[in-house]
Amino acid sequence: MRGIVWFRRDLRLNDQPALTAACEDCSEVIPLFVFDDPLLQSHVFGSACVNFMLGCLEDLAASLASRGITLQWRRGEPVSELVQVAQAWKADVVYWNRDYEPGTIERDRAVQQQLGQIGVVVRTFKDHVVFEAEEVRSATGEPMQRYSAYRTRWWAKWQSVQPTTLPVPRLLTAEKAAPLPAPPPLPVARELGYEPVMLWIEPGERQAQKRLRWFAEGPIHSYVTGRNLPAVDGSSILSPHFRFGTLSARVAVHAALASLAQGRRVSRPDVFTWIDELVWREFFQQVLSAFPHVVDGPFRQVPAPAPRAPGTERERLYQAWCEGKTGFPIVDAGMRQLNQAGWMHNRVRMIVASFLIKDLRIDWQSGERYFMQHLIDADVAANNGNWQWCASTGTDAMRGYRIFNPLLQSKKFDIKGEYIRRYVPELVKVPLTAIHEPHTMTVEDQEWSGCRIGLDYPSPIVDHQRARQEYLDLGKAAKVGPS
Ligand SMILES: Cc1cc2nc3c(=O)[nH]c(=O)nc-3n(C[C@H](O)[C@H](O)[C@H](O)COP(=O)(O)OP(=O)(O)OC[C@H]3O[C@@H](n4cnc5c(N)ncnc54)[C@H](O)[C@@H]3O)c2cc1C
């Protein structure tokens, strides 16, 4: 029997259910990746994300080649490409791991239906999450809407199921290789319509494993404090690996739990807090899966201030936010980190999101789109879920509106202004007393530090206290409704 393994967001050999099943069922296994042309042309994702994916594919191709197997690739519209290769290669079965984005579900349905018409069997597997939406439900069998309740049930499920992981398939050897012509080299970013970029997070399964080992041996045990400090390496920086499946969530949870047995400087609260972040990831996956309307609008219709109307003022504020020129150093540092590196620290993501929605009163969907186009870990479920959480549209259990104070956040989490200085070079020489609010510098300090407010660095584009009050007043009015 001949099987095609359609690789998608699972670019690894370890703990890979579709690949394992194909190796067990088939005498010949053909690994395949399809560059989705319509998706690439839509530029929903940015260059950082695409370059990272290409790096992961290079690594996957090398790992397969070292076992005598060739990664085949195609470029085009996935449904027709899949049907074409299944026919041309005389495949009996196509294997893939499931994805939960509404558009992808629809596409996969079409592939399955058309393959069925030509007599090709499809086998799909759970992979991207530890538990799919149907596996963690409320007591009455409903999809879960609150993280805290979801978390309790997720852990109960983990205890009862005790999920295991799969090794690299023992049967994945040259004997499984199908006699097909070798494909051309994988395309480079420019050929796909994207700029080449220097990646500061190394792609590929081997790098993911290395990073996980490093994290589990040290930083995980001080995660509760470390994760909030944007100037230090306190979180795992594994999100692009989870995004492209160079690391499985099951392997990560097991590694975290195993780190508790390592002896030195072990901290249970820190380790469990980190695993809870993986549970957040699954929570948002199940929100997307069970409530697909979130991609087009709010999770829940809650009364909220209407976003600022389109026009030059909105455009001016939005551009300042995108470019990191708001006059709020922590916001500017975050946006510039995003623009330069395709990455932003989680605490700062929350600060800039709250600032866009609540201080500037710009629709959260604009921020969501901008993040998708710039993040190396751009992921529909996590991005949408977090933007909706920041926008108070229903997935946050807090009553009322959560409004971050950028100044207090900055003083608390970037105490010495190291993160700010790293990404906002105009502020490098600004004294510590003014690093979080440089517009308060005296004229002498501005001269001395080479940072003239309004010339070298902008004054704040809004008054936070006033903007906050306005948002709350508008919120109150929205709850009461039109008089
Ligand atoms: C406005 C906004 C947009 C975001 N967009 C994305 C996105 O597009 N893709 C993405 O992967 N994450 C997104 N996040 C979540 C979070 O910022 C990143 O997952 C995290 O910064 C990645 O860093 P890390 O790998 O060091 O995480 P760690 O702190 O080491 O956490 C481990 C893993 O848990 C998951 N995780 C952590 N926090 C969250 C969270 N809040 N929601 C969902 N999963 C989480 C990630 O997979 C992460 O790699 C967003 C957060 C905000 C506030």
pLDDT at 140 over 70: yes
Ligand 1: centre distance to CA 235 (Å): 10
Decide: pTM greater than 0.95. Answer: yes
Strand partners, 31: 5
pLDDT at 482 over 60: no
CB of 350 shorter than 6 A to ligand 1: yes
User: Where do the structural domains in the chain lie, given as residue ranges?
Assistant: 2-127, 129-162+205-290, 312-478
For residue 303, the model assigns a pLDDT of 85
pLDDT digits 0-9 by tens, 25-70: 999 999 999 999 999 999 999 999 999 999 999 999 999 999 999 9
- Domain pair 2-127 / 312-478, same fold: no
pLDDT digits 0-9 by tens, 103-121: 999 999 999 999 999 999 9
CATH fold for domain 2-127: Rossmann fold (3.40.50)
Q: Are residues 324 and 335 in contact, defined by beta-carbon separation less than 8 angstroms?
A: yes
pLDDT digits 0-9 by tens, 407-436: 999 999 999 999 999 999 999 999 999 999
pLDDT range class, residue 481, cuts 50, 70, 90: low
Q: What is the pLDDT of the chain when averaged over all its residues?
A: 96
For residue 262, the model assigns a pLDDT of 80
d(CA 293, CA 313): 30
- 445 conformational bin, left if phi > 0, alpha if psi -120 to 50, beta if neither: alpha
pLDDT range class, residue 266, cuts 50, 70, 90: confident
d(CA 366, CA 382): 16
d(CA 5, CA 14): 14
Q: Which atom of ligand 1 is nearest to the CA of 385?
A: 42
Strand partners, 72: 32
Amino acid at 130: V
pLDDT at 264 over 90: no
Return the residue whose CA atom lies nearest to atom 16 of ligand 1. Answer: 346
User: Which CATH code, of 3.90.470.20, 1.25.40.80, 1.20.1090.10, 3.40.50.510, is assigned to 129-162+205-290?
Assistant: 1.25.40.80
The residue with greater pLDDT, 200 or 396, is 200
Return the residue whose CA atom lies nearest to atom 3 of ligand 1. Answer: 383
CATH code, 312-478: 1.10.579.10
For residue 483, the model assigns a pLDDT of 43
Average pLDDT for 343-364: 97
pLDDT digits 0-9 by tens, 145-159: 999 999 999 999 999
Ligand 1: centre distance to CA 344 (Å): 10
CB of 382 shorter than 6 A to ligand 1: yes
- DSSP string for residues in 334-380: HHHHHHHHS---HHHHHHHHHIIIIIS---HHHHHHHHHHH-TT--H
pLDDT at 243 over 70: yes
